[in-house]
């Protein structure tokens, strides 16, 4: 049966690049009958995850973390609330921007640049240097900034005359590139995840990541310290932690966390049970292979072998071992 993939469209976004990369790596990327997966373009992260929750899609591809902008709030919040979903895969997409416009436009002609706010933020220095008098307008996605230029003359004339977008989006919209690789920091990368309804977990690969959302029981400092100590006591490293407001009052937060390892690993399992005990609530959002294939390094006494040995020792003592 054909797998239906929801993603933040339109065609040409970085999310679609992530979708392509995930399809290339997934066994179910193409159906066994050779059928192509369905690609369902969505207008927002909420819409993509909502499609999976309602059963209109099997998988959603959404950005979760960017090396320049940090955790993607819309994704973190949508995963932290509503029906539980789980991450089953991740992929890293290099983020390179071009400045593109309609054929015939030159750099000197550009008075207004449109793009997604994250893109504008990442190219701020380049714009200040090459277009000091430019103003910017925000669009729903980087690709939308490009397609608005392509379709101009139609419904609404866009407020901008050049777009910050991917090269693919520029080409798809028939635009010309006025500036290549215009992001202020080279090497920016966004991590995208594939999200499904709960079910079978990907098996441990030896280099996994686990995502959870921890709801604090009391104040920020004490709660966060107790939470981190649960990881530290088992030698489990964190690769990302984002505080997200509960929406009830200033200072009320939950924590979205990525840690190294798989929920099936003894060390991760014990850390999560500890976390479960000291938090008001804990939501498991999946264990999945890391895109970079980095296996966790463990401090002395916290390897999975150490956990198994300690567990065996305890069973012996409880049985009244005479050794």
CB 143 within 8 A of CB 10: yes
> Could you say whether residue 236 binds its own copies (CB under 8 A)?
yes
Residues from 108 through 127 that contact its own copies (CB under 8 A): 117, 121, 124
DSSP calls for 254-319: EEEEEEES-TTSHHHHHHHHHHHHHSSEEEEEEEEE-TT-PPPP--TT-SHHHHHHHHHHHHHHHT
Q: What are phi and psi of 17, to 5 degrees?
A: -60, -40
> Could you say whether residue 166 binds its own copies (CB under 8 A)?
no
Q: What are phi and psi of 181, to 5 degrees?
A: 55, 60
> Could you say whether residue 180 binds its own copies (CB under 8 A)?
no
Residues from 247 through 306 that contact its own copies (CB under 8 A): 247-253, 259, 263-264, 269-270, 272-274, 276-278, 282, 284, 300-302, 306
Minimum Å gap between C-beta 34 and its own copies is 28
**Which CB atom, from 171 or from 244, has the smaller least distance to its own copies?**
244
Minimum Å gap between C-beta 173 and its own copies is 18
> Could you say whether residue 310 binds its own copies (CB under 8 A)?
yes
Minimum Å gap between C-beta 317 and its own copies is 4
Per-residue contact flags (x/-) with its own copies for residues 127 to 146, judged by CB under 8 A: --------x-xxxx------
165, containing H or E segment? strand 162-165
The vertex-72 CA angle with 150 and 208, nearest 5°, equals 115
Q: What are phi and psi of 302, to 5 degrees?
A: -125, 15
CA distances to 12, 83, 210, 247 from 256, rounded to whole Å, are 29, 16, 11, 15
**Which CB atom, from 138 or from 176, has the smaller least distance to its own copies?**
138
Given 27, 32, 54, 156, the residue binding its own copies (CB under 8 A): 156
The residue range among 14-22, 55-63, 94-102, 155-163 that interacts with its own copies, by the rule CB under 8 A, is 155-163
Report the distance separating Cα 271 and Cα 276, nearest Å. Answer: 9
Given 70, 94, 125, 206, the residue binding its own copies (CB under 8 A): 70
Helix and strand element counts for the chain (H, E): 10, 15
**Which CB atom, from 107 or from 233, has the smaller least distance to its own copies?**
233
CB 208 within 8 A of CB 261: yes
Minimum Å gap between C-beta 284 and its own copies is 4
């Amino acid at each position: 049966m054909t797998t239906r993939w929801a993603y933040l469209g339109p065609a040409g976004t970085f999310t679609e690049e992530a979708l392509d990369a995930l399809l290339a790596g997934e066994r179910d990327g193409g159906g066994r009958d050779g059928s192509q997966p369905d690609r369902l373009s969505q207008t927002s992260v909420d819409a993509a995850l909502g499609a999976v929750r309602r059963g209109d899609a099997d998988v959603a591809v959404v950005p979760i973390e960017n090396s320049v902008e940090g955790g993607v709030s819309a994704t973190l919040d949508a995963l932290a609330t509503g029906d539980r979903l789980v991450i089953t895969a991740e992929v890293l997409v290099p983020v390179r921007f071009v400045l593109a416009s309609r054929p015939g436009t030159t750099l000197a002609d550009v008075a207004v640049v449109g793009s997604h706010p994250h893109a504008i933020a990442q190219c701020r220095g380049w714009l200040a240097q090459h277009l000091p008098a430019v103003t910017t307008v925000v669009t729903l996605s980087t690709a939308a900034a490009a397609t608005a230029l392509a379709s101009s003359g139609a419904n609404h004339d866009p407020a901008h005359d050049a777009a910050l977008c991917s090269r693919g989006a520029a080409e798809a919209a028939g635009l010309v590139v006025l500036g290549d690789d215009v992001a202020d920091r080279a090497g920016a990368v966004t991590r995208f995840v594939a999200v499904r309804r709960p079910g079978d977990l990907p098996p441990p690969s030896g280099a996994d990541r686990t995502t959870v959302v921890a709801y604090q029981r009391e104040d920020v400092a004490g709660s966060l310290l107790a939470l981190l100590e649960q990881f530290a006591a088992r030698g489990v490293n964190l690769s990302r932690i984002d505080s997200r407001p509960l929406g009830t009052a200033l200072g009320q937060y939950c924590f979205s966390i990525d840690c190294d390892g798989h929920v099936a690993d003894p060390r991760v399992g014990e850390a999560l049970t500890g976390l479960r005990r000291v938090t008001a609530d804990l939501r498991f959002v999946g264990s999945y292979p890391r895109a970079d294939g980095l296996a966790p390094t463990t401090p002395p006494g916290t390897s999975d072998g150490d956990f198994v040995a300690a567990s065996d020792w305890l069973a012996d003592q409880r049985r009244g071992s005479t050794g």
